[in-house]
Amino acid sequence: MPEARLSPRERLVLTAIIELYIATGEPVASQAVAHFFADREGLSSATLRNVMATLGEAGLLEQPHTSSGRVPTAVAFRYYVEQITQPGRAQAGLGGGTVPGRVETPMSEARRGQIEESFAGVSSSNDYLERTSHVLALISSGLGVALASSTAGQVLEHIHFSRLSTGRVLAVLVTQAGAVQDRVLAVDHQMTAVELETAGTYLNESFRGWQIERIRAEVARRVEMEREACRELLTSVEELCRKGALAGDDGGATIFVDGIANLISAEQDRERLRQMLLAVEAKQRLVELLNAYVDGRQQEVRVVVGLDEASPAMQDLVLIGAPARLGGGNLGTVAVIAPTRIQYQEMIQAVSYIARLSERILDVPTT
């Protein structure tokens, strides 16, 4: 990041230009910046032009046309996101105060009420994810995306283990919905037929009727908590779970997408729009994108500016995503994909709030 090379004055001007561009969508001219800083000493029009030239040379601003103002680059937006998401950091904002330096800044009561009302009546994980994609598209004017984890909503009916050969175990998982999934696990230490039968019996008797994602988290917790007499059994169970016994079905990931019309209205270049739509309509690519950038084991919001690694047509898009949790397990991923000219602080707050909402609005077994 360029922060170490920027003076306080350059950081101040860059922040103003970014926020002016977010607010207007137009290239920012030096006159607009001068008007914003009209009451500040030491920031004359000539000084601002020099600062903007320096920021341009640093790769933070670009000029679409010779006679136009400046537009922040992807590098500038990444710098800006770092400023508003790192705890304990703050910088000048357009309101004359500061941009808070942490994601947990309280959102407005109006926004919270809008979100709460939008989720009224939701009672299942699929309903929650589908509604999430719609709500995020609505409030972001971008693409709302919600991806179910491979085991979201699945409930254990029965599991059976069979030893195939040295270091290889067959796990057959049956869910209460009637799905049968089998996979071969590569285990680190040898397990006898008796050990595998005991592990299966333990999981079936202890966790039948539990959501699968919650079982994995609970087994890991019990390994740490149980007395030494049970540790050997639990260690074997934990390894089988860790190696994928409860990983669910990898095929046909469930993903909900809403708001493609928002991208159409925001993009004027028809060819770039066509390429962008091809990229976002390839849902498998969106699945790969969310899995690559949002870690289900973490809880914080992830912001990625410039998605050209996924597709060159997505270079001017930003991803704001977070994992949704349920009963200690990973329910899925919720995200906004939008043009880089987005209200970052507001959308980070909204994605974070909706990701945490799953625990409250969905019924979680206590057994």
Q: What is the pLDDT of residues 114-123, one digit of tens each?
A: 999 999 988 7
What is the average pLDDT across 155-162? 88
Phi, psi for 135 (deg, rounded to 5): -65, -45
Selected residue with higher pLDDT from 265 and 94? 265
Please work out, in degrees rounded to the nearest 5, the angle formed at the alpha carbon of residue 229 by the alpha carbons of 225 and 230.
Answer: 55
Could you tell me which of 115, 108, 112, 105 has the C-alpha nearest to residue 144? 115
What is the average pLDDT across 16-37? 89
Please work out, in degrees rounded to the nearest 5, the angle formed at the alpha carbon of residue 106 by the alpha carbons of 102 and 112.
Answer: 135
Q: Is the pLDDT assigned to residue 232 strictly greater than 80?
A: no
Query: d(Cα 311, Cα 113) in Å, to the nearest integer?
Result: 36
First to last CA, the chain: 48
Q: Render pLDDT for 236-249 as a digit per residue (tens, 0 to 9).
A: 777 787 766 666 54
Selected residue with higher pLDDT from 325 and 153? 325
Q: What's residue 180's pLDDT? A: 67
Local confidence band at 204 (pLDDT 50, 70, 90 cut-offs): very high
Q: What's residue 134's pLDDT? A: 94
Query: d(Cα 328, Cα 359) in Å, to the nearest integer?
Result: 9
Could you tell me which of 242, 207, 214 has the C-alpha nearest to residue 326? 214
What is the average pLDDT across 185-213? 86
Q: Is the pLDDT assigned to residue 251 strictly greater than 50?
A: no
What is the average pLDDT across 342-366? 84
**Overall pTM surpassing 0.75 (yes/no):** no
Q: Render pLDDT for 298-309 as a digit per residue (tens, 0 to 9).
A: 778 899 998 877
325 touches 214 (CB < 8 A) = no
Q: Is the pLDDT assigned to residue 90 strictly greater than 50?
A: no
Token pair for 174: 């049956």
What is the average pLDDT across 286-290? 83
Query: d(Cα 279, Cα 253) in Å, to the nearest integer?
Result: 17
User: What average pLDDT does the chain have?
Assistant: 79
What residues does 318 pair with on adjacent strands?
305, 338
276 touches 268 (CB < 8 A) = no
Q: Render pLDDT for 71-86 as a digit per residue (tens, 0 to 9).
A: 999 999 999 998 887 7
Q: What's residue 225's pLDDT? A: 66
Q: What's residue 94's pLDDT? A: 40
249 touches 172 (CB < 8 A) = no
User: Percentage of the chain surpassing pLDDT 90?
Assistant: 24
Q: What's residue 354's pLDDT? A: 94
DSSP 8-state symbol, 79: H
Selected residue with higher pLDDT from 198 and 175? 198
Q: Which of 52-61, 309-318, 341-350 has the lowest mean pLDDT?
A: 309-318
Q: What's residue 292's pLDDT? A: 84
Token pair for 250: 């990898």
Q: Is the pLDDT assigned to residue 130 strictly greater than 50?
A: yes
| Cα–Cα distances in angstroms (integers) from residue 93 to residues 16, 37, 114, in the given order | 7, 12, 25
Selected residue with higher pLDDT from 321 and 246? 321
What would you measure as the largest C-alpha separation in the chain, in angstroms?
81
What is the average pLDDT across 125-135? 89
Selected residue with higher pLDDT from 269 and 55? 55
Could you tell me which of 185, 71, 141, 173 has the C-alpha nearest to residue 339? 141
Selected residue with higher pLDDT from 337 and 105? 337
The beta strand positions in the chain, using DSSP E, are: 61-62, 71-72, 91-92, 98-99, 143-148, 156-165, 168-175, 180-186, 255-258, 302-305, 317-326, 329-339
Token pair for 78: 């990444």
30 touches 48 (CB < 8 A) = yes
SS3 80: helix
Domains of the chain: 3-99 (1.10.10.10), 109-150+253-361 (3.30.450.40), 156-245 (3.30.390)
Selected residue with higher pLDDT from 219 and 159? 159
203 touches 159 (CB < 8 A) = yes
147 touches 254 (CB < 8 A) = yes
